[in-house]
Structure formats: C-alpha cells, structure tokens
Structure 1
C-alpha cells in the first residue's frame, strides 16, 4: 500500500460491541459516518478526495486499535446530497485499502504503540497526521508515513 497519501486519522466506534466496518473487505466502498456536531458537516464536506484516512477504534474490552486505511473516493459535493438529518447522517464514501485481521485480534496494531501520541479521541472529525501532537513524536510526516508503511504492509 502506498502510504504517501496518508493524511488523516479518524476515531470510529460501534455501540453494538463489534468492530465498526469489519465486514468491508479490501477494495469495497462504504459510507464512513461522522456524528453530527459543531462544524462536523463543513469538516466532512471539505476533506479532499483521494486522501487516505486511518480508522482508529476502541471496542469494549480491547485497547484502541488501528483497523482500516480508507481512501475518500468522492468530493464532498458528490456525497452531501445523500446526507440525512439523523445523528450519523453525515458521511463520505470511502474505499478500503487495508483492513486488520479481525480473526486474530492480537495482530491488530495498537493505536498508542504505533502512533506514539495521544492525538485525541473527543470527536468524530478526521485529524491531520501532521498535527503538532504527532509531529512532536515523529519530527516529520515522512517519518510517520514510513513507519505506518511497515505497519500496514
């Protein structure tokens, strides 16, 4: 997988006690949801097509884990007409490029171990990998992407 387009990390959760998006294999498209909140619609709308997003999630009983790498396949203007008024009505269409092996949870990369920073889990927005909290740990986005290339390949 080409990690040069890794741009964001996003917190995802499934309230049903299972891994979110685990049934979507490599190459499949799905709707990546964003929980409604202040500025979320504008944020989701403006994420650039072609960017890669790492999905980080915390399943009950497990540490926060890196479970997917997805690519934004549409512009926000293409997805917005399908949005609805529900709590999770904001979404962007994404394509799976990497997915964790959910049959062996011991092999799923742990967020804290691999990212080496507390980048924050307080909202549903995608955070830039070049954020100060991550760059304090890595020094440059290229070093972080090289490390993640080892994790995801």
Structure 2
C-alpha cells in the first residue's frame, strides 16, 4: 500500500451492534456511504474527494471505543459515482472504494484504537472525510510524513 496516498480519515457507523463493512475482504469493492443531513454540504464534499486517495475508516460500536477498521481507496471520480446516488433516503450518497487493509474483527484487542494511534480527540463525528493534514492532527504529529510513517507500521 502506498501510504503517501493516505489522505483522509472518515467516521462510519452502523445502527446495529455490528461492524460496518465487516464482510468486505482485502481487494473487495463496496459503496462507502456518506450520511445526508440538511445544509452540511455532504454531497459536494463526497463528490470532490479525489480518486486514488486512501481513507482510514474509524468506527465505534455502542459499547466500545472508536477503532481504525479499514483502509480503502477511492476508485472512481465523483462524477462517475454521482449518477448512481439515490435522491431519497439517509445513505444515498456514496463513493465506490476498494479495501486495502481490514481489521481482524474476530480479535477486538488487535484492532487499532483511533485515540491511541491518531493521538487526537475528534469530538463530534459526522460522515465527512477529514484531512489527515488537519491542524488538529499536525499539532500532535508535526508533519504528515511522520503520521503516515506511523500509520504504515500500524497497518502492516
């Protein structure tokens, strides 16, 4: 995996007590959903995420902490995915992704903890992808290269 393309982290949630995208093995493709909400620009945000970028997926099951569960690659341009978006429903906005890394869901103790590995307190999450080069992360890491090197160790 080319960690130089690791650009984003994104919150994913499942309303059930299961891991989102758990059944998608390395090499699989799936629709990465973005939750629609009023006047937040989620559609524009999802549309503009660049093809080829790697995104870390972070998720929290109700009784657990937040974990890093996947690294996925955006495989299409937003213009290729948008014609398939649903105009109704909460989760109609998506981008097609390919799985490059997935956590071992059978052993929760081996799944990387978001707070420990990212060294950031995110506050409230939405489903937009956040830049890894954000001021909040860079105040902890100093440079995106240091963060990417660390994450390379975590995901290998």
Same fold (TM over 0.5): yes
The TM-score normalised by the length of structure 1 is 0.98
* SS of structure 2 residue aligned to 1:9: strand
CA distance in structure 1 between the partners assigned to 2:77 and 2:31 by the alignment: 13
CA distance in structure 2 between the partners assigned to 1:149 and 1:137 by the alignment: 17
State yes or no: 1:86 paired with 2:89.
yes
The TM-score normalised by the length of structure 2 is 0.96
Deviation at 1:4, TM superposition (A): 1.0
Pick one of 128, 136, 141 that aligns with 1:138.
Answer: 141
C-alpha RMSD of the superposition: 0.8
CA distance in structure 1 between the partners assigned to 2:121 and 2:82 by the alignment: 31
* SS of structure 2 residue aligned to 1:15: coil
Aligned partners of 1:11 and 1:121 also within 8 Å: no
Pick one of 53, 61, 64 that aligns with 2:63.
Answer: 61
Deviation at 1:118, TM superposition (A): 1.5
- Structure 1 unmatched ranges of 5 or more: none
Deviation at 1:62, TM superposition (A): 1.4
Runs of 4+ aligned residues of structure 1 deviating over 2 Å after TM superposition are 119-122
CA distance in structure 1 between the partners assigned to 2:85 and 2:101 by the alignment: 26
CA distance in structure 1 between the partners assigned to 2:36 and 2:120 by the alignment: 26
State yes or no: 1:103 paired with 2:106.
yes
Deviation per residue, 1:77-112 (Å, 9 max, x gap): 000000002110000000000000001010000000
* Number of equivalent positions: 153
